[in-house]
Amino acid sequence: MPCNFNPVKDCTKFQVFYLAVATFYAPSNYCGVGGIKTERIRCIPNWNRKGACQDCVFVEIDSESSSHDGFCGLTVSRAMLLFLFEFKRQTLPCALVQWFKSVGTGLHADFGMWLVQANTNRCTGLQDQTVVHLDTFL
């Protein structure tokens, strides 16, 4: 983007969403032969008046990863905000995410899953956040 980028002037459209629905083909015993599966990603600021409901998602950070160990080019993040904006006549669906990093080098012996912890900035102590395109969600 140019140095003189002004989001108020240059973005002709800006919308915030609390829910995204992903429909994809995934044949399995659970989905059946047709394999159509639907998942919801929630970023609800006030869930039943008890606080925020923000789902965790996998984000693809390395599509060329040949390793079959670990996350295989994926990392865990929490979707904080879903939004889209239009820039130069192109609509860009995005999300503000908080990053997590894996703990250890493999699956936890008791849980059989990877453990993650918040990825924080060393200087500020705040959790790292970034805006990513929704196409990076898996």
* Mean of pLDDT values over 62-70: 58
Residue 73 is encoded by which pair of tokens? 């080019």
Question: Does the structure show a pLDDT above 60 at 94?
Answer: yes
For residues 102 and 119, what is the distance between their CA atoms, to the nearest angstrom? 9
pTM for the model stands at 0.77
Residue 8's H or E segment, with its range, is: helix 7-10
Q: Which two tokens stand for residue 38?
A: 């639907």
pLDDT for 29 equals 67
Q: What is the pLDDT of residue 81?
A: 93
| Averaged pLDDT, 60-86 | 77
Token pair 């990877």 in the structure block, residue: 114
Q: How far is CA 23 from the centre of its chain?
A: 16
Q: Is residue 35 in a domain?
A: yes
Which range has the top average pLDDT, 24-38, 75-89, 103-117? 75-89
Whether residue 116 lies inside any domain: the answer is yes
C-alpha atoms less than 13 angstroms from C-alpha of 121 in its C-beta half-sphere: 9
* Per-residue pLDDT band at 32 (split at 50, 70, 90): low
In a domain? residue 1 = no
Total structural domains in the chain? 1
Q: Does a structural domain hold residue 64? A: yes
Q: Which domain holds residue 110?
A: 7-136
Beta bridge partners of 84: 15, 93
Mean pLDDT is lowest, of 45-54, 70-79, 120-129, for 70-79
Residue 119 in domain: yes
Note the Cα 70 to chain centre separation in Å.
18
Q: What is the mean pLDDT of residues 90-119?
A: 87
